[in-house]
């Protein structure tokens, strides 16, 4: 039958010609994709992948900034393993990596839920945000338009032990405020977590508000008809439907907490709180470029491991709506 069709049909409709046309269209499609992505991928490889590979190479050398970099194997990593200053800074960075995303994302989800679905029931609207929700979005997002250095300077003045706004307010009610930035490690860590959360919570309010706004109102109305309160609606409806956004935000905030370089460098005295990026920066100042790049490689590994853990632990069946 196939032979008969090949005989009766015109040459351009033969099965061989059809297979050839399909193969040509597939090849043409891949040519278009490769041609479209070639230049962006080349730039990405040159300006992103290449520096990573160079850093990994220099981490195995004794490079001190000169034209010569002698290969020394794992000596920099052995030195790092025995360096107590590195471990002290890493403990602080890991603490921020674990705690800061939890605090920031919880606040971001709470504010976003109140803005999107936490208001009183209005006429004709079963689900609505609190009054003035549009203004709150602008207020929460405002820290995102400020430079990190400016944020560090402002909060440094707020947490100043002698003339700071916070301790001055506590003095008015008869409470002696602690030395936030010049005393115990725990107070400095609390101050650092406060600044990190304040800096980034507005971004997550906008992010989670957009995710919650995409949820059909019919789902909320059905939950209300079933007698679900705000708490049950949030944990039973809202959170499962925006879980992919929460997981992505968790990874992003963890990387931001791990890279809290500018805030610590500007706001914190050197002897109080030190994170791994600041420790790396000080090694660069000392001319230990090979050792510093090995610390950078460890930061890269920490970021990748953290991202993989969150992707693995936070994985669940995708809910379509």
pLDDT per residue over 205-257, tens digit each?
Answer: 989 988 888 888 788 778 777 777 778 888 888 888 889 899 999 999 999 99
Q: Answer whether residue 114 shows pLDDT above 70.
A: yes
How many Å from the N-terminal Cα to the C-terminal Cα in the chain? 47
What ranges in 226-287 are assigned the alpha helix state H?
A: 230-233, 239-241, 243-258, 261-267, 276-285
Best-predicted range by mean pLDDT among 8-22, 92-106, 110-124? 92-106
Q: How far apart are CA 145 and CA 148, in angstroms?
A: 9
Residue 231: per-residue pLDDT:
80
Q: What is the mean pLDDT of the chain?
A: 82
106: confidence class by pLDDT, cuts 50, 70, 90: very high
Residue 117 to residue 212: CA distance in whole angstroms: 8
Q: Is the pLDDT of residue 43 over 60?
A: yes
Task: Classify 219 as helix, strand or coil.
Answer: helix
Using 50, 70 and 90 to split pLDDT, how confident is the model at 21? Answer: low
* Alpha-carbon span 228 to 219, nearest angstrom: 11
Question: H/E element holding 155?
Answer: helix 148-158
How confident is the model at residue 56, as a pLDDT? 92
Residue 299 has pLDDT above 50, yes or no: yes
Helices (H), the chain: 2-8, 15-44, 50-58, 75-81, 84-117, 133-141, 148-158, 165-172, 185-213, 217-225, 230-233, 239-241, 243-258, 261-267, 276-285, 289-313
Q: How confident is the model at residue 155 (pLDDT cuts 50, 70, 90)?
A: very high
Give dist(CA 179, CA 187) in Å, integer: 7
Are 115 and 129 a contacting pair, CB within 8 Å? yes
- pLDDT band for position 259 (50/70/90)? confident
């Amino acid at each position: 039958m196939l032979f008969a069709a090949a005989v009766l049909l015109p040459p351009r409709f033969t099965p061989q010609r059809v297979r050839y046309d399909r193969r040509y269209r597939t090849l043409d499609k891949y040519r278009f994709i490769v041609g479209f992505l070639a230049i962006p991928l080349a730039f990405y490889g040159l300006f992103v992948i290449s520096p990573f590979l160079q850093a990994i190479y220099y981490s195995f050398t004794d490079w001190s900034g000169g034209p010569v970099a002698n290969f020394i194997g794992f000596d920099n990593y052995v030195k790092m393993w025995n360096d107590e200053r590195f471990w002290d800074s890493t403990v602080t960075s890991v603490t921020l990596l674990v705690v800061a995303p939890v605090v920031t994302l919880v606040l971001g989800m709470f504010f976003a839920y109140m803005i999107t679905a936490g208001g009183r029931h209005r006429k004709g609207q079963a689900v609505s945000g609190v009054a003035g929700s549009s203004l709150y979005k602008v207020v929460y997002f405002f820290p995102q338009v400020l430079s990190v250095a400016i944020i560090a300077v402002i909060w440094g003045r707020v947490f100043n032990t002698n003339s700071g706004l916070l301790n001055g307010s506590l003095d008015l009610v008869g409470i002696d405020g602690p030395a936030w930035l010049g005393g115990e490690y725990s107070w400095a860590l609390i101050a650092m977590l406060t600044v990190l959360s304040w800096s980034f919570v507005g971004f997550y309010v906008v992010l989670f508000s957009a995710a919650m706004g995409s949820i059909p109102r019919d789902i909320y109305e059905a939950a209300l008809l079933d007698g679900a309160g705000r708490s049950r609606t949030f944990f039973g409806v809202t959170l499962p439907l925006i879980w992919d956004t929460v997981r992505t935000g968790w990874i992003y905030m963890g990387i931001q907490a791990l890279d809290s370089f500018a805030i610590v460098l500007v706001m914190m005295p050197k002897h109080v709180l030190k994170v791994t990026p600041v420790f790396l920066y000080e090694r660069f100042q000392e001319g230990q470029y090979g050792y510093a790049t090995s610390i950078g490689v460890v930061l890269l590994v920490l970021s990748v491991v953290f991202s993989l853990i969150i992707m693995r632990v936070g994985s669940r069946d995708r809910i379509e709506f």
